[in-house]
Amino acid sequence: MKPSMHAKRPPAVSRSKPRPLAQLKKAPTGIAGFDEVTLGGVPEGRPTLVCGSAGCGKSLFGVEFLIRGAVQYGEPGVLMTFEETEDDIRKNVASLGFDVEKLIAQKKLYIDFVRVDRAEIDENGEYDLEGIFVRLAHAIHTVGAKRVMLDTIETLFSGFSNQAILRSELRRLFGWLKDRNLTTVITGERGDGSLTRQGLEEYVSDCVILLDHRVTGQISTRRMRVVKYRGSTHGTNEYPFLIDEQGISVLPITASGMDYPVSNARISSGIAELDDMLDGKGYFRGSTVMVTGTAGTGKSSVAAHLAEAACQRGERCMYFSFEESPAQIVRNMRSVGIHLQPHVDRHLLQFHSARPTMHGLEMHLVKMHKMIEAFQPKVVIVDPISNLQSAGSLDDSTSMLVRLIDFLRKKQITAFFVSLASAGSASTEMTDEGMSSLVDTWLLVRDIELGGERNRALYVLKSRGMAHSNQVREFLITSRGIRLRPRVSWALRGAHGFGAAQPGGTRRGGDSDGQGRVGAQANGARTPPQGD
């Protein structure tokens, strides 16, 4: 018989779809911004260590984790404290607007104060935490707790010197909590050269959060960092956080992505002649606009026109001022025909005035985030951004503004920045903050002193995505607001470099006619749309 010419086929291999890997379950804390940093919260059913020096907010973090868990997520909690009495905790938490008495009455919260006094401790034989386990088990059973907080763990072990037993009991405590699937927050004091005084808690915890309260140049700033998180990715940067009457707020974004949407819609600047210079339509909605000039050139008046125009459209505007109080701004703008008080009364315009040195830059940014989220404005004005350097270094203020710009762009909020240029600087076509490359539209207002008169002129340095005028227009502040004359007089063009001929007989934005005059500007020519 001839051998078969057909090779035997290998047996079919069944291909089943790979099972999805089990993801680590997380318990949301309800703390603003923190759950974004950790991509969901703390690990569910596992211990989390919150460590830091005195006054950094450890206890508040844990208490808020418990209360928000009970109120927002229906998970009762047990707070075992070794430092503060139950009455102290009630008073402290009441300042945040939480009704602890009500939660206790509803069996959503159980507070157990364990008094540990070194003078009353007599160490005899081997020491263990059996008594603590009994009290915890009773408290957990009473309210059906899903969450537990221990505050602070150093106090529990402060009276005992046997380090071997102490470490053994620490491991047993963490294992006991984990075996019962309790989502636990344990607070600990920071040690010398280690995250905690015992130097062991950070190794047996599944998640470690470090809180820091530092003072630089007499300005204090609180920061948070997730040191480790077993089984999960997380943000690894330092994140500024704020403690106020609403609890803890973490700023989750240190370097926003650039996937924000853009709009083709246009909004008026509030100055008809300026709109005409910007392709006759004004700014792009959601874009970033900056006006630069020396003191007294009318920058704030340009900002006030935008605020008034937004409110007249029925849109909300938030005005952050680092120089003047709201009453000063309203009074000063009234003298040039801009009436802002009616918009304040209608709750369309909201001012926030503060000295830059009142907080660190991160704290200013956190506060701005919170107020913007609460007010939901369509336009945000910051006047001036140059003052922020008094609260930090130039690099710090630039970093803060970049984060603010990214935040506003993601929300499609039109941002308007006022930047003060130093008088007598080598070039006004640059900013100390290095913001010129980040903004979409850049306006420059300059002083011109000639023939015993001081005049102002305005021109558009750049405006991305639109054709815009290359004219240098005379800038007038009148009792009826800002007016821009169609062109600067020939005498003013030659002053301080305006219209001065460049090598090759041309200047920025127009062609010279050989006599120092710019014919293209006089004819109202526009530069084509820019990519930068």
CA distance 36 to 380: 24
Q: Which residues pair with 448 in a beta bridge?
A: 455
Task: Map out the domains of the chain as residue ranges.
Answer: 26-250, 266-489
What amino acid is encoded at 163 in this protein? Answer: Q
Tell me: pLDDT of 183 over 90: yes
Q: What's the average model confidence in pLDDT over 297-324?
A: 96
Q: What's the average model confidence in pLDDT over 52-65?
A: 90
Confidence of residue 364 (pLDDT cuts 50, 70, 90): confident
Tell me: pLDDT of 329 over 60: yes
Question: If we measure between CA atoms, which residue out of 79, 145, 75, 147 comes closest to residue 112?
Answer: 79
pTM: predicted TM-score of the whole model, two decimal places = 0.72
pLDDT score at 505:
35
Instruction: Copy the structure tokens of residue 299.
Output: 């920058």
Cβ atoms of 140 and 132 within 8 Å: the answer is no
Q: Which residues of 164-201 are buried (b: 16+ CB within 10 A; e: fewer)?
A: eebbebbeebbebbbeeebbbbbbbbbbeeebbbbebb
Tell me: pLDDT of 187 over 80: yes
Cβ atoms of 239 and 275 within 8 Å: the answer is no
Lowest mean pLDDT, pick from 38-47, 124-133, 134-143, 323-332 = 124-133
pLDDT digits (tens, 9 = 90+) for 243-259: 888 888 887 654 456 77
The matching CATH number, chosen from 2.40.37.10, 3.30.420.10, 3.40.50.300, 1.10.3720.10, for 266-489 is: 3.40.50.300
Instruction: Copy the structure tokens of residue 89.
Output: 């905790």
Its sign, for the CA torsion 229, 232, 236, 241, is negative
Confidence of residue 197 (pLDDT cuts 50, 70, 90): low
Q: What is the DSSP string of 347-386?
A: TSEEEEE--GGGS-HHHHHHHHHHHHHHH--SEEEEE-GG
Give the Å distances, CA to CA, from 501 to 33, 326, 506, 509, 528.
54, 44, 6, 11, 21
pLDDT score at 493:
52
CA distance 450 to 495: 7
Q: What's the average model confidence in pLDDT over 455-479?
A: 92
DSSP character at residue 24: P
Confidence of residue 198 (pLDDT cuts 50, 70, 90): low
Cβ atoms of 209 and 226 within 8 Å: the answer is yes
Lowest mean pLDDT, pick from 127-131, 260-264, 439-443 = 127-131
Confidence of residue 485 (pLDDT cuts 50, 70, 90): confident
Residues 6 or more apart from 109 whose CB is under 8 A from it?
66, 67, 70, 76, 77, 78, 79, 100, 103, 143
Q: Which residue has the tokens 């900056």?
A: 290
pLDDT score at 487:
63
Question: Residues of the chain with pLDDT > 90: what percent?
Answer: 45
Q: Which residue has the tokens 């040690």?
A: 191
266-489 matches 26-250 in CATH topology: yes
pLDDT score at 499:
46
| HSE toward the beta carbon, residue 482, CA cutoff 13 A | 27
pLDDT score at 46:
93
Instruction: Copy the structure tokens of residue 524.
Output: 């109202």
Task: Answer yes or no: CATH 3.90.1150.10 is held by domain 26-250.
Answer: no
Provide φ and ψ at 383, rounded to 5°: -140, 115
pLDDT score at 409:
92
Tell me: pLDDT of 509 over 50: no
CA distance 401 to 141: 50
Radius of gyration of the chain (CA): 31
pLDDT score at 192:
67
pLDDT digits (tens, 9 = 90+) for 367-420: 899 899 999 999 999 999 988 877 777 777 888 888 899 899 999 999 999 998
CA distance 290 to 417: 5
CA distance 355 to 362: 14
What amino acid is encoded at 129 in this protein? Answer: L
Confidence of residue 158 (pLDDT cuts 50, 70, 90): low
Give the Å distances, CA to CA, from 48 to 172, 210, 226.
15, 11, 11
pLDDT score at 95:
77
Instruction: Copy the structure tokens of residue 273.
Output: 């002649």
Cβ atoms of 317 and 375 within 8 Å: the answer is no
CA distance 181 to 74: 16
Cβ atoms of 114 and 82 within 8 Å: the answer is yes
Q: Select, from the ranges 239-243, 431-435, 463-467, the one with the highest average predicted confidence (pLDDT).
A: 463-467
Q: Which residues pair with 243 in a beta bridge?
A: 248
Q: What's the average model confidence in pLDDT over 221-231?
A: 89
Cβ atoms of 27 and 232 within 8 Å: the answer is no
Tell me: pLDDT of 325 over 60: yes
